[in-house]
Structure 1
Amino acid sequence: MSGPPITELTTRARDIFRLVVEGYLSTGQPVGSKTLAVSGLNLSPASIRSVLHDLEHLGLLAAPHTSAGRMPTEVGLRLFVDGMMQVAEPTQAERTAIERQLAAPGPIEAALAAASSVLSDLSACAGVVMVPRREPRLQHLQLVALSPGKALAVLVGEDGGIENRVVDVPAHLPPSALEAASNYLSAQLVGRTLSEAVRAIRAEIASGKSALDAASRDLVERGLALWSEDALKRPVLIVRGASNLLDDAAITDLERVRQLLDDLESKQSVAELLDAAREADATRIFIGAENRLFALSGSSVIASPYRDREGRVVGVVGVIGPTRLNYARVVPMVDFTAHSLGKLIG
């Protein structure tokens, strides 16, 4: 989805295009030539209509009805966001609200939930935060036979969390091998993350120093490694303020609303979309059909990665709203929240 470079538009066309986009983003309504005629352009209504026609021909504007004014297309919004938008700093009140919410005492998960809530409140959109993918350090592991070829791995973290995973085991694995593997794994896991334990166990097995028999080694190699990889791929998403998306304009298009709420229910898909912003140097904006997930509901996503104190990206924060949201205001708000979150992450 691409339009002409902003430099290819005449000064007159840029001025009219900017007024249409800013008017639409402010009111949610198409902007007519009569409104533009009294905006200080010093152009006749006929000249304004001619420019509007040209912008529509370029795919930057559209008229929802024959007699209505113009509104930007998604191509037009992208051109405006990339080439014309003047981003302001968050207001002092917005910065204070964000910092106050994040500074409340409690675990980091509470701060992440607060970040999504305050973004939702300030932007009148849905606030979203992807929780850091941090592996817990483990305290104990127990393997329990379930059925031939299946065992349950029960992992207990130092933080008291418990994870259960069904793993494949050799169909005729004797109970003694399962017990030996449990004891060996517990001894190796204490105080380590799973990925750290996997590296240590593989190194010991490769060096021939492990006392495990072949069946137990196979269980360790396949079961533990698989669990560790799966744990790293399970993002956790916090969504707050989805009801903000049900504004007066949305109610007139119930099918779009239904599609949008269905999209938000698919948290794994939303997390995959936000994941695309993890490697960005700055806040990313996805407008309407630019992202597959929200193409049908015509929604936009503004997302920014947040980093720990060592500069590593650990998660993503952002908002989901209609394509007509106030990008110039929300972009710096999301960026400020990402930086504020980064200060809290150890």
Structure 2
Amino acid sequence: MPKLQVMDRAPVTELSDRAREIFRLVVESYLASGQPVGSKTLAGEGALNLSPASIRSVLADLEQAGLLAAPHTSAGRMPTEIGLRLFVDGMMQVAEPTPEERAAIERRLAEPGPIEAALEATSAVLSDLSACAGVVMVPRREPRLQQLSLVNLSPGRALAVLVGEDGGVENRVLELSEAVPPGVLETASNYITAHLAGRTLAEAAAAMKRDISSGKSALDRAASDLVERGLAIWSEDVMERPVLVIRGQANLLDESALSDIERVRSLLDDLENKQSIAQLLETARSARSTRIFIGAENRLFALSGSSVVASPYRDRDGKVVGVVGVIGPTRLNYARVVPMVDFTAQSLGKLIG
């Protein structure tokens, strides 16, 4: 066959039928076993009807084109990251999630609890099914207030109970500098419920400051301070909540990873950098479907040689509210993982509503 031109991303059309078939078999075998594939193995399978010498010649051309690499002189070949990209974009036959996988995903998402629990479950079930690390970008949404009550607990302490329009209820203990009469707590609670309901925390805090500064609040100093502190405790909490949920990091420490301790260390460091992972997932928010980042295509995982499969999930109005995906080695079963991530994104979107 003619020599292939070396390029960053060789199109499938540049491969002859023979080269395309051999390349496909090498990639699929490598993704299944994690081991380089040799000419004797390919010839022994009988699917090619070619001699080992003929197969070696094609493998050498594919290596020269930058699609395959030989980790050792006497070893077989394995796909490069460029080769994996060629396979994923132009040759991979995507398989639908099995009924068992669909049922497992839907069952975990159907468990009762707050939305945070559903996001945890999503990350965990993806990790379990893919044998990778599951990752979910939490939607950045502030609750709108329906009621905030302040209840006296003891001298210097009050319980703040927030009820959102979505029905969610959260409690926080508010430390006070001094004992506050019950009447002041009731006044502050009634003020928030009557004047600030239907607003987000940020909107409520801004409206409160405007009312107090203009003298329209009719609150004394003690009640005004309680209102401000009652809202601030949630505003600070929302800002500090993690926007990323990662589960199943231990799945990434397989036998091949443990043989390269530097890659393991680099990968674990990458996973600790949640801000960078969140930034990477943000790039998938605008995608129409699942995106795949292979190895060095993404600077974050360039050293650890890891891949990311991510898909945006939408609410019932079609607005993107987050991203769900998996992080694993470049030797991912992409044909199985991609539709699994896509189905999970669709299921999570229905739940978010």
Q: TM-score, normalised by structure 1?
A: 0.78
- Distance, in Å, in 1 between the alignment partners of 2:19 and 2:206 is 61
1:141-180 alignment runs, 5 A limit: 157-158=162-163, 159-160=169-170
* TM superposition shift of 1:328: 0.2
Q: Which amino acid counterpart does residue 45 of structure 1 have in structure 2?
A: P
1:36 aligns with 2:42: yes
1:183-202 alignment runs, 5 A limit: 189-194=196-201, 196=203
- 2:276–2:300 contact (8 Å) kept in structure 1: yes
Runs (5+) with no aligned partner, structure 2: 1-6, 150-159, 164-168, 175-190, 217-230
* TM superposition shift of 1:308: 0.7
- 1:137–1:157 contact (8 Å) kept in structure 2: no
- 1:130–1:235 contact (8 Å) kept in structure 2: no
Q: Which amino acid counterpart does residue 55 of structure 1 have in structure 2?
A: L
**Residue of structure 2 aligned with 1:325, choices 324, 329, 332:** 332
- Distance, in Å, in 2 between the alignment partners of 1:195 and 1:163 is 20
1:63-78 alignment runs, 5 A limit: 63-78=70-85
Are the structure 2 counterparts of residues 279 and 229 from structure 1 closer, same or farther at C-alpha, using a change threshold of 3 Å? Answer: farther
**Residue of structure 1 aligned with 2:260, choices 233, 253, 259:** 253
Deviations 1:131-177 (A, max 9, x none): 11111224669xxxxxxxxxxxxx9853436699xxxxxxxxxxxxx
SS in 2 for 1:160: strand
1:307 aligns with 2:289: no
Are the structure 2 counterparts of residues 162 and 114 from structure 1 closer, same or farther at C-alpha, using a change threshold of 3 Å? Answer: same
**Residue of structure 2 aligned with 1:17, choices 16, 23, 28:** 23
- 2:67–2:82 contact (8 Å) kept in structure 1: yes
Q: TM-score, normalised by structure 2?
A: 0.76
Q: Which amino acid counterpart does residue 160 of structure 1 have in structure 2?
A: E
* TM superposition shift of 1:193: 1.1
* TM superposition shift of 1:244: 0.5
**What's 2:157 paired with?**
none
* TM superposition shift of 1:109: 1.3
**What's 1:135 paired with?**
142
* TM superposition shift of 1:198: 8.3
1:238 aligns with 2:217: no
Mean Cα displacement is larger for which, 57-66 or 39-48?
39-48
- Distance, in Å, in 2 between the alignment partners of 1:235 and 1:309 is 24
* TM superposition shift of 1:185: 9.5
- Distance, in Å, in 1 between the alignment partners of 2:115 and 2:237 is 23
1:103 aligns with 2:110: yes
**What's 2:14 paired with?**
8
- 2:296–2:305 contact (8 Å) kept in structure 1: yes
Q: Which amino acid counterpart does residue 262 of structure 1 have in structure 2?
A: D
- 1:130–1:316 contact (8 Å) kept in structure 2: yes
- 1:20–1:71 contact (8 Å) kept in structure 2: yes
- Distance, in Å, in 2 between the alignment partners of 1:128 and 1:12 is 39
* TM superposition shift of 1:49: 0.9
- 1:37–1:48 contact (8 Å) kept in structure 2: yes
**What's 1:119 paired with?**
126
1:73-92 alignment runs, 5 A limit: 73-92=80-99
**Residue of structure 1 aligned with 2:292, choices 285, 291, 300:** 285
- Distance, in Å, in 2 between the alignment partners of 1:7 and 1:134 is 46
Are the structure 2 counterparts of residues 271 and 234 from structure 1 closer, same or farther at C-alpha, using a change threshold of 3 Å? Answer: farther
Give the fraction of aligned pairs with identical amino acids, expressed as a percent: 75
**What's 1:26 paired with?**
32
- Distance, in Å, in 2 between the alignment partners of 1:268 and 1:236 is 9
- Distance, in Å, in 1 between the alignment partners of 2:322 and 2:277 is 13
Instruction: Output the aligned Cα RMSD.
Output: 3.2
Q: Which amino acid counterpart does residue 334 of structure 1 have in structure 2?
A: V
Deviations 1:8-56 (A, max 9, x none): 1111110010000000000000000001112311112221111111111
- Distance, in Å, in 1 between the alignment partners of 2:321 and 2:312 is 8
* TM superposition shift of 1:269: 1.3
* TM superposition shift of 1:201: 8.8
- Distance, in Å, in 2 between the alignment partners of 1:26 and 1:343 is 33
Q: Aligned pair count?
A: 302
- 2:196–2:207 contact (8 Å) kept in structure 1: no
- Distance, in Å, in 1 between the alignment partners of 2:241 and 2:302 is 24
**Residue of structure 2 aligned with 1:62, choices 44, 53, 69:** 69
Runs (5+) with no aligned partner, structure 1: 142-154, 165-183, 213-223
**What's 1:219 paired with?**
none
Deviations 1:236-286 (A, max 9, x none): 111111001111111100111111111111111111111111111000100
Are the structure 2 counterparts of residues 162 and 41 from structure 1 closer, same or farther at C-alpha, using a change threshold of 3 Å? Answer: same
**What's 2:156 paired with?**
none
